Chains A and B, each alone.
Chain A
Amino acid sequence: MADALMLQPDPEFVREVNANSGGELKKCFQCATCTSVCSLSTEARPFPRKQVLEAQWGLKDRLLGDPAIWLCHDCADCTARCPRGARPSAVMDALRMAAIRRMAFPRFMGSLVGDMETGLIVLFISALLLLAIALLPISKFAVRPFVFAQMFPKDRLEPMFFAVGAFVVLALTIGTVRFIRALRAAGARGPILPALVPALLEILRHRRFGNCNAGQTRRLGHLLTLYGFVGLAAMGTAVGIGSMFGLIDTPLPNLYPLKIFANVCALVLVIGISILVAKRLTDPEKRAGSSFCDWYFLALLGGIGLTGILSEGLRLAQSLDWMFFIYYVHLSLVLTLFLCTPYSKFVHFLYRTIAMAATWQESKSPGRGQLRPGGPEVVSSEGPGLPHVMGTRS
């Protein structure tokens, strides 16, 4: 059987996933309760039992290119039902982190994932950079009305953000190439480009999230966060470009449509993040399964929303004591988010989208004997049938 695949366990990978999933990885004895209760798993692409087994065996290459790890929305229902306490959802999360780490460009930045020290160092560096911009050329200071440009001149701030942005785009592009290569190597052959549109539509509607046992609260939180963030990102980019080319003068008037839109987006983001944080704190499984990576990402997004709103308020109040400092914090957080994007949980927006696109075809035609509804094509908000039968739902 020369053509048979050789099993070569990677003990280091076993140790890594085990450590990042709470140290219970090896407890799984393959009863498949997890896959049975999962409302997103399909016959064609079952998870998480298979992935847990592969992780136990350290089959790194298979796992890094397995789109299924991105199809999981981490509701932790499997972990709640696991009779052996193997924490399958935490294993899936650890696998996602392992994948992000290995797709990272430059490679050394991959250590940011799940690593508190690196995360704080990035934050610190961002803060220093901005401080340098603010302080180096001592600007004409504090003439009413106070505007942020007095402290952070646009001609310095914007080129820096665009430069960092360009670097991030490059890193994401390389990450995408690496990810697609891994997908292909692991046998996910679905066409990605044509499926991007339906995949994006699904993401905008979050129907899979609704199927997930996490229920509607988490779906709402995630949806608000997504919309709020996308809105703000679009606004920020537009205003940035506009003001760089002198098309727009900041600060925009309070009743300017773009300004109103941005404020609404900020509110939506903050509400969404609050819901997600509350969910993570109240759900015991989610809480226990939350890693540094999860909290860092939430804190960053929430912090950006809050400091943004606060900066605007302080500017309107013309509070000289606080407005520049809060704005400085806000900019530091934004820059940190920029820098973290390819190396943190944040990049899931990219990998999950690609994974969904790559599996779109099989999810539309599940093939032989799909056991349960749950693919994106299911509109029912009732969720799947099987878990109802198998036990009570919280």
Chain B
Amino acid sequence: MNKQLGVYICSGCSLGEALDLDRLALVATRERKVPICRTHSFLCGEEGLTQIRSDLADGSVNTVVVAACSPRAKTASFDFGPASLVERVNLREQVAWSHAARDEDTQMLAEDCLRMGIARAEKMEPLEPLAEAISRTVLVVGGGVAGIHAALDGANAGYEVILVEKEAELGGFVGGLKRVFPVHPPYTSAETAGLGEKIQALKSHPLVTVFCSAEVLRIDGQPGMFDVALRQGQNQATVRAGAIVMATGWKPYDPAKLDLPGCDLPDVMTNVQVEKAAAAGVMLRPSDGKPVRSVLFVLCAGSRDPNHLSYCSTVCCTAALKQAEYFREQHSDVQIFIVYRDMVTPGFYERYYEKLQSHPLNFFLKGEVQKLERNGDGKIVATLRGSLLGEDEPLNLAVDLVVLATGMVPNSADNNAIQTLRDAQKKLERKESEAQVAEAQKTIGLLERHANTEILNLGYRQGPDLPVLQNGFPNSHFVCFPYETQRTGIYAAGAVRAPMDSVLAAEDAGGAMMKAIQCVEMAVQGQAVHPRAGDLSYPIFALQRCTQCKRCTVECPFGAIDEDEKGTPRFNPYRCRRCGICMGACPERIISFKNYSVDMIASMTKAIEVPDETEDKPRILIFACENDAYPALDQAGMNRRTYDASVRVIPLRCLGSMNIVWIADALSRGIDGVMLMGCKFGDDYQCHFIRGSELASRRLENVKDTLERLQLESGRIELVQLAIDECDRVPQVIDDFVARIRELGPNPYKGF
């Protein structure tokens, strides 16, 4: 593309007062020889925009550099359509608003920012969106309450839906319930699930195909073109789907694993067993078939316990209330004892709790059941401790039946465990060395329980299922990105995503189906679906230079890159989230976006003017994650917080896209220090791309070794974890780092 740059400098928003814009314009016109450079006092106003548009229209400009506010501001105003390339230079939030006005250092900062912007604009290429044949069909795996609602919502929105259920009938767990929690005012009576109508509606819907007693054999491909191999009895078929909703539900926690002595007595049931008995109509003591006159519900049986399920399943308390009513219907004088840690009855279920509480024969107690024993009368004696009735004293309670309220375990498959197991099994087959065999055997022993637990059977290089977070839920970040799993185009809904009741699961299904629809529609337009929704760029692999090191295929958090037998990456662009982590990983630098590449960022670092060591003007390069750290820097400017003007900020799509060559380049050019600002990582990570900042910190360790060899202090590089709301920390973090760099003295490579 024949580049014709136009630089547009805005003097509004106090930029004109803070900076010498005439001198700034000289950077464009004299230094970088940009043919068109205009200054306007209100660039985002109609007059300013009309000027830019007319320059674009008459062909004198095809690449626009806007030197004004942050790229996060006025995005719509400075969007001139897909054909026009735009680069934003942040003179407002990160220069004029955060540094002293009419100051030499501030002016130098502004000029460097413009240089960097022009350098990038010169290298940007027009985007060519993906355009392949996309299937809009959505596959729903699981025909429980979430699956049924997801399928119905999708079909009612006009999308073809294929639903696969492994049982012979639809309905799942909720289908087998006698009653569900109250959903209508005044929320004091349990209700019938009414799932039958939904199932009928589903079966008669022209856009829905239901396969019961069926399973998913294998899923290949990528969003918009998943090839799903199904088996139903002896028959096999392959269908094409654009996106997948995984609604595989939950299973009860295994009561045999509990530490409660006596939990294996015959008259101890789980809440799920009670539910089944109630639905069947008979609730007698399992040991002798006698009627039940007193029941003890042990809530949190294994829940909120770090040794079992560390979370609250949110339904067991309300379920115990409902089941208390089942027993009361059989015998009005049954005594119900409910021993809880905290009654969790979310929302209007509190009304139901109040109603159940009011019965004189329902007894509630906060406390802990320590053991269960059978006494001479055939009753079960429960020993309670830590209750307000007993303080430190143990108390006994004799009952006919004990119900353990066990929590919900997601019906997910632990992708990473399965993959590790498979790798170990392969290693064992290869029998390369004794040490390796021993290690493989150990791994297999640890992970054996994950054998044959596959659900989706994805044909992905990184494993057959969804990676799970803590506690086995395959969700991505549950606050920021609900439904999004770590596999693009596959969305979790219902109890497999998070513990929830049937009402929430039905709503959840709608949410996940919306995501699936968004995914196929974005795929049709060749755009990224999330979190960079609408992004038309995607990485391009210059495979002729690939050394098959497999770093990209291993590090991609979304499993977007498969491999052929030799280990050459096979990129699946529709699985990609455009974070650039592969670009940062690649040692050969063969992965680039048309508007974001190793070369482009390197050119930006080279555009920075580095004063020589006599001037006492250090130069610090900051690579800032554009999702969290960059907005925090902007926010600091908006709050008029000032910080050292020797920093030069380059936004990255994700800190994981940081290629270490940039650091080497920068230091060899005399930049005195490099700071990486990324999201928090670890268990409670905040990275939009799961592991970006964590990968960057790992790469940094390698860089520091190199530095030592070059006789450079490793303190010249630092990684800071900065959340989007931590703008108040920005000045301190930057000023401290600059102070440390000043202490280290100028970079000895200056001037080389």
Binding site for B on A (CB under 8 A): 1, 4-7, 9, 11, 14-15, 18, 26-27, 29-30, 49-50, 53-54, 56-57, 59, 84
Q: B residues engaging A (CB < 8 A)?
A: 335, 343, 353-354, 357-366, 371, 383-384, 388-390, 393-398
Q: Chain B's nearest CB lies how many Å from the CB of A13? A: 10
Given A1-B383, A6-B398, A27-B357, also A53-B388 (CB < 8 A): yes
Give the distance in Å from the alpha carbon of A129 to the alpha carbon of B701 in the complex: 104
CB-nearest residue of chain A relative to B360?
A14
Q: How far is the CA of A26 from the CA of B388 in the complex (A)?
A: 16
Contacts of A6 in B (CB 8 A): 395-398
List the A side residues contacting B360 at CB < 8 Å.
11, 14-15, 18, 26
Most buried by B among A7, A53, A57: A7
CB neighbours of A50 from chain B (8 A) = 388
**A11, B394: Cβ atoms closer than 8 Å:** no
Q: Are A26 and B395 in contact (CB under 8 A)?
A: no
Q: Given A27-B358, A57-B389, is A4 in contact with B395 using a C-beta cutoff of 8 Å?
A: yes
For A5, what are the chain B residues with a Cβ–Cβ distance below 8 Å?
390, 393-396
Tell me the complex Cα distance, A1–B261, Å: 13
Q: Which residues of B contact A53 (CB under 8 A)?
A: 365, 388-389
24 contacts between A and B (CB under 8 A): A1-B371, A1-B383, A1-B394, A1-B396, A4-B393, A4-B395, A4-B396, A7-B389, A7-B395, A7-B397, A9-B335, A11-B360, A11-B361, A14-B361, A26-B359, A27-B357, A29-B353, A29-B364, A30-B366, A53-B365, A56-B364, A57-B363, A57-B389, A59-B389
CA distance A32 to B353 in the complex (A): 18
Which residues of chain B are within 8 angstroms of A18 by Cβ–Cβ distance? Answer: 360
Contact A56 B396 (CB under 8 A): no
| B524 CB → nearest A CB, Å | 53
A30 to B365, CA, bound (A): 9
> Please, which residue of chain B has its CB at the minimum distance from the CB of A54?
B389
Residue in A closest to B357 when the chains form the complex, CB atoms: A26
Question: Which residues of A have CB within 8 Å of B358?
Answer: 26-27
By Cβ-Cβ distance, the 4 closest A-B pairs, closest first, are A4-B394, A4-B396, A14-B360, A26-B358
Closest to B393 in A: A5
Q: How far is the CA of A29 from the CA of B398 in the complex (A)?
A: 23
In the complex, A22→B54 CA distance in Å? 81
Known contacts being A1-B383, A50-B388, is A26 close to B362, with CB within 8 Å? yes
| Distance between Cα atoms of A168 and B715 in the complex (Å) | 92
* Complex contacts, B383 vs chain A, CB 8 Å: 1, 4
A339 to chain B, nearest CB (A): 33
The CA-CA distance from A49 to B361 in the complex, in Å, is 19
Closest CB in chain A relative to B520 CB, distance in Å: 48
For A84, what are the chain B residues with a Cβ–Cβ distance below 8 Å? 354
- Point out the residues of chain A lying under 8 angstroms from B364, CB to CB: 29, 56
Complex CA gap A26/B362 in Å reads 9
The answer for the CA separation of A53 and B389 in the assembled complex, in Å, is 8
**What's the Cα separation between A304 and B397 when bound, in Å?**
51
Assembly CA distance A285 to B358 (angstroms): 21
Q: How far is the CB of B127 from chain A (nearest CB, A)?
A: 59
Residue contact B363 to A56, C-beta cutoff 8 Å: yes
A9 touches B357 (CB 8 A): no
- Nearest A residue to B353, CB-CB: A29
Residues of A within 8 A of B388 (CB): 30, 49-50, 53
For residue B563, give the distance in angstroms from its CB to the closest CB of chain A: 58
State how many angstroms separate the Cβ of A291 from the closest Cβ of chain B: 20
Task: Provide the residues of chain A in CB contact with B397, threshold 8 Å.
Answer: 6-7
Closest Cβ neighbor of B373 among chain A residues? A1
CA–CA, A50 to B365, complex, Å?
Answer: 11
CB distance from A45 to the nearest CB of B (A): 12
Q: Which residues of A contact B393 (CB under 8 A)?
A: 4-5
B396 touches A7 (CB 8 A): yes
Flag if B362 contacts A57 (CB, 8 Å).
no
Cα distance A11–B357 when bound, in Å?
Answer: 14
CB distance from B80 to the nearest CB of A (A): 59
Q: How far is the CA of A28 from the CA of B363 in the complex (A)?
A: 11
Q: Report the bound CA distance from A6 to B393 in whole Å.
A: 11
- Nearest B-chain residue to A18, judged by Cβ: B360
Query: Nearest residue in A to B359 (C-beta to C-beta)?
Result: A26
Nearest-neighbour CB distance to chain B for A29, whole angstroms, equals: 7
Query: Shortest beta-carbon distance, B328 to chain A, in Å?
Result: 13
Residue of B nearest to A12 (CB): B360
Give, as a whole number of angstroms, the nearest-CB distance from B390 to chain A: 7
Instruction: List the B side residues contacting A9 at CB < 8 Å.
Output: 335, 363
Chain B residue with the shortest CB-CB distance to A13: B360
The interface residues of chain B lying within 8 Å CB-to-CB of A1 are 371, 383, 394, 396
Given contacts A56-B364, A57-B363, A59-B389, 17 further A-B contacts (CB under 8 A): A4-B383, A4-B393, A4-B396, A5-B394, A6-B396, A6-B397, A6-B398, A7-B389, A11-B335, A11-B360, A11-B361, A14-B360, A27-B358, A29-B353, A53-B365, A56-B363, A57-B365
Complex: A11 Cα to B359 Cα, angstroms: 10
User: Closest residue of chain B to A6, judged by CB?
Assistant: B396
Question: In whole angstroms, how far apart are the Cα atoms of A13 and B383 in the complex?
Answer: 24
A6–B373 alpha-carbon span in the complex (Å) = 13
Q: Which of B353, B364, B390 has the most CB of A within 10 A?
A: B364
Residues of B within 8 A of A14 (CB): 360-361
A29 touches B395 (CB 8 A): no
Chain A residues whose C-beta falls within 8 Å of the C-beta of B365 in the assembled complex: 53, 57
Contacting residues, chain B, for A59 (C-beta < 8 A): 389
How far is the CB of B148 from the nearest CB of chain A, in Å?
35
For the complex formed, measure the closest distance between the CB of B96 and the CB atoms of chain A, giving whole angstroms.
48
Residues of A with C-beta under 8 A to B343: 29
Measured in the bound complex, the distance between the Cα atoms of B358 and A9 in whole Å is 15
The distance from the CB of B156 to the nearest CB of chain A, in whole angstroms, is 41
| Smallest Cβ-Cβ distance to A62: which chain B residue | B389
Chain B residues closer than 8 Å to A57, beta-carbon distance: 363, 365, 389
Smallest CB–CB gap between A48 and chain B, Å?
12
How many angstroms from the CA of A253 to the CA of B309 in the assembled complex? 86
Min C-beta distance of B57 to chain A, whole Å: 67
* Chain A, residue nearest B294 (CB): A9
CA distance A49 to B387 in the complex (A): 13
Query: In whole angstroms, what is the CA distance A15 to B396 when docked?
Result: 23
Q: Which residues of A contact B389 (CB under 8 A)?
A: 7, 53-54, 57, 59
The chain A residue sitting closest to B398, CB to CB, is A6
A27→B396 contact, CB < 8 A:
no
CB neighbours (8 Å) of B396 from chain A are 1, 4-7
Nearest B-chain residue to A24, judged by Cβ: B358
Residues of chain A within 8 A of B359, CB atoms compared = 26
Which residue of chain A is the closest to B343 with respect to CB atoms? A29
Interface hub of A26, A49, A53 (most chain B Cβ within 10 A)? A26
Contacts of A15 in B (CB 8 A): 360
The answer for the CA separation of A50 and B364 in the assembled complex, in Å, is 13
Chain A residues near B353: list those with CB within 8 A: 29
CA distance A7 to B389 in the complex (A): 9
B contact residues around A56 at 8 Å (CB): 363-364
For B398, the chain A residues whose CB sits under 8 A away are 6
A29 touches B357 (CB 8 A): yes
* Min C-beta distance of B534 to chain A, whole Å: 48
How distant is B298 from chain A, measured CB to nearest CB, in Å?
A: 15
CB B295 to nearest CB in A, in angstroms, measures 13
| Nearest CB of B to A270, in Å | 42
A29 contact set on B, CB distance < 8 A = 343, 353, 357, 364
How near does chain B come to A25, taking the closest CB pair, in angstroms? 8
- Residues on A with C-beta less than 8 A from B362 are 26
Give the one of B335, B354, B360, B371 with max A CB within 10 A.
Answer: B360
Chain B residue nearest in CB terms to A59: B389
- Pick from A4, A6, A50 the residue with the most CB of B within 10 Å: A4
B55 CB → nearest A CB, Å: 67
CA distance A53 to B394 in the complex (A): 17
- Chain A proximity of B346: nearest CB distance (Å): 15
Q: In the complex, how many angstroms separate the beta carbon of B371 from the nearest chain A beta carbon?
A: 8
Contact between chains at B363 and A27 (CB < 8 Å): no
| Distance from B261 Cβ to chain A, minimum over Cβ atoms (Å) | 11
Task: Give B397's nearest chain A residue, CB to CB.
Answer: A7
